[in-house]
Structure 1
């Protein structure tokens, strides 16, 4: 199955077999449509040769490449890894998220390091109500994760970030009472709220997403999520995620006057990501909060630069967004995602002056740009 949308003389395709989004030229879209309707290669060459300056040989090569793409299997492959669940877990913590209690058992300090720093501010010593039991354990090659004695999945240690993503997804499911199929996707972004709508900040690691979020929450905005931003399928709202805001070393000088607690807060070295971070507690007191999305902002802090804000193409935004996101493989959700995403205003914001950045974000929220 293929979904198709047209924007700016380009075609956006979603391929169900690989859950892949492609932006292609009209000739490629036409070939895909014909192949999808079981038209033979020879018939396609005949149909297109009179309409295009492309040679028959080149058309043949293009059709072969597209055919392979359309029949390529899903990237997701089942694994047969097995990690024996230990009898003894060295660490355990209760985390309270609104009225949800999650009891996490860690087999060693290693597993605890992968999860606890982001959620330490949610830890409680007096759990009450329904409790879900999470267990995290590993051996020298793999890591496993189970909920209420049901194994969710097992990963190679080199893919431990997939475990962290799945763990966060299960927290989202439990706190918002929505199963995975009810989500459009999860974006690698930061999200803020002005109380009536939300805004997403995107960009490569180190561009200043989390620092901008910390500055904004100190200036009247609410932190909805940092690094892991879930979007629901039914209402297309941005939903809260309760992890702390991660702050890299090079942002400490900017943020210490606002968050003096950073001076003595614990420091965590994530070697795989080659970064050292500390954490700021989000100012969100209602993790049930969910709001429509006002805009997507690709943000970049650039020392000594003038503030520059401009609208960018949704096609450009899509190309930047997709590689770092988890997007639902359900055809209904993929269709909703495309229709939703292609209507959202997208901006590129470069800044060095924090006050100007905050004022500009305020203007976007107020439709005052």
Structure 2
């Protein structure tokens, strides 16, 4: 449903997903909180006090208002606009080709982009003469992103991951010849497919999400995207050729059939990380539909367990770790997609159990 102030939809039980238009913020709330929020946003203070004191006689009005105001505090990842600094000397360079576009990232040593470069290293091309320039640097505890000498944004240096996410979303949009606002979201997930079967794989750090993708690719699945999954306005996932990232603790698990991959090891903020990209994977701007979300957790020597999970659980992860364009069309599209999804929760130690699950018809 939608009104002047909110876009909201009921999930399971008493849970609602709400989007506050003014603050551009997602909330997972109960029906009673949703009712209060609607009253708070739509009424004058005098009317608000009367309604709340009449309807909620056992609650403190000032406390309710304080709680609602706290709930509506705006997220702030991008810094306020400031004067554009002079671009310093940039001593690092990475060149690559994605689709029909050649890129050159210029950056200075104070910025650690090793994880970003690892994801794209299989696309590297040092023979490029003319290319689209991407400039990244830090100054006074602030990091900056320029593309073709146009400032895209600036972030606190400790929020460099937001800059990297912004750049990846731009690269994805360029690859598919569209704009960032034309997506439902860039989800923190991996997507694999085989014939008519597609799965969105999610999991917290250390859950074995990427390891599962690699081992399933070894058994005939294709990598559609890893770590970031672009979802379009029609509820379809777009292909994006970023590499699988494996932490050093998982090297032994993925050592088989390693010759089938382009391999690049680099030291990132997570330690030594191995980036793998299937040599036979075609790079083309395809789309697939997928409504099965599998939340995975690796637990050594555990029995395989499978449970149906709630959308509410994965929504927390998507909202906190993903980028969803803050416009009404994208929000409505994302809500429509997530409500049509089935969520499975698995714990595993043996990849054969996972493979058997994926081979069944869901």
* Equivalent residue, structure 2, for 1:103: 104
DSSP-derived class of the 1:104 partner:
strand
The Cα of 1:351 is off from its aligned counterpart by 0.7
TM-score by length of 1: 0.86
DSSP-derived class of the 1:347 partner:
strand
How far apart in 2 are the matches of 1:185 and 1:74?
Answer: 17
CA offsets 1:294-342 (integer angstroms, 9 cap, x no match): 3111111111111111111112221232111111211221122112111
1:305 aligns with 2:326: no
The Cα of 1:83 is off from its aligned counterpart by 3.9
Maintained 8 Å contact 2:110/2:138 = no
* Equivalent residue, structure 1, for 2:134: 134
2:271 to 269, 275, 278: 275
DSSP-derived class of the 1:94 partner:
strand
Number of aligned positions between the proteins: 353
Q: Residue 30 and residue 258 in structure 1: after superposition, are their counterparts in 2 closer, same or farther (change >3 A)?
A: same
1:315 to 312, 316, 319: 312
* Equivalent residue, structure 1, for 2:200: 200
The Cα of 1:116 is off from its aligned counterpart by 2.1
The Cα of 1:136 is off from its aligned counterpart by 2.6
* Equivalent residue, structure 1, for 2:48: 41
TM-score by length of 2: 0.87
* Equivalent residue, structure 1, for 2:33: 28
DSSP-derived class of the 2:86 partner:
coil
* Equivalent residue, structure 1, for 2:321: 324
DSSP-derived class of the 1:11 partner:
strand
* Equivalent residue, structure 1, for 2:117: 116
1:14 aligns with 2:16: no
The Cα of 1:41 is off from its aligned counterpart by 2.8
Note the aligned Cα RMSD (angstroms).
2.7
Q: Residue 26 and residue 136 in structure 1: after superposition, are their counterparts in 2 closer, same or farther (change >3 A)?
A: closer
Q: Residue 61 and residue 199 in structure 1: after superposition, are their counterparts in 2 closer, same or farther (change >3 A)?
A: same
* Equivalent residue, structure 2, for 1:231: 231
The Cα of 1:256 is off from its aligned counterpart by 0.9
How far apart in 2 are the matches of 1:157 and 1:131?
Answer: 27
How far apart in 1 are the matches of 2:317 and 2:75?
Answer: 21
Maintained 8 Å contact 1:198/1:238 = no
Shifted more, 164-173 versus 136-145: the winner is 136-145
Q: Residue 197 and residue 178 in structure 1: after superposition, are their counterparts in 2 closer, same or farther (change >3 A)?
A: farther
* Equivalent residue, structure 1, for 2:256: 257
How far apart in 2 are the matches of 1:219 and 1:64?
Answer: 54
Q: Residue 127 and residue 265 in structure 1: after superposition, are their counterparts in 2 closer, same or farther (change >3 A)?
A: closer
The Cα of 1:119 is off from its aligned counterpart by 1.1
Maintained 8 Å contact 1:102/1:133 = yes
How far apart in 2 are the matches of 1:83 and 1:19?
Answer: 29
The Cα of 1:284 is off from its aligned counterpart by 2.8
How far apart in 1 are the matches of 2:80 and 2:111?
Answer: 25
The Cα of 1:109 is off from its aligned counterpart by 8.5
Shifted more, 248-257 versus 88-97: the winner is 88-97
Maintained 8 Å contact 1:190/1:229 = yes
Maintained 8 Å contact 1:31/1:44 = no
Identify which of structures 1 and 2 has the higher relative contact order when contacts are C-alpha pairs closer than 8 Å and 6+ apart. 2
Matches within 5 A, 1:156-175: 156-175=156-175
How far apart in 2 are the matches of 1:93 and 1:340?
Answer: 36
Maintained 8 Å contact 2:200/2:293 = yes
Maintained 8 Å contact 1:136/1:144 = yes
How far apart in 2 are the matches of 1:66 and 1:110?
Answer: 38
* Equivalent residue, structure 1, for 2:58: 55
CA offsets 1:212-269 (integer angstroms, 9 cap, x no match): 1111111111111111221112x2211122221101112111111221589x955333
Q: Structure 1: which 5+ residue stretches go unaligned?
A: none
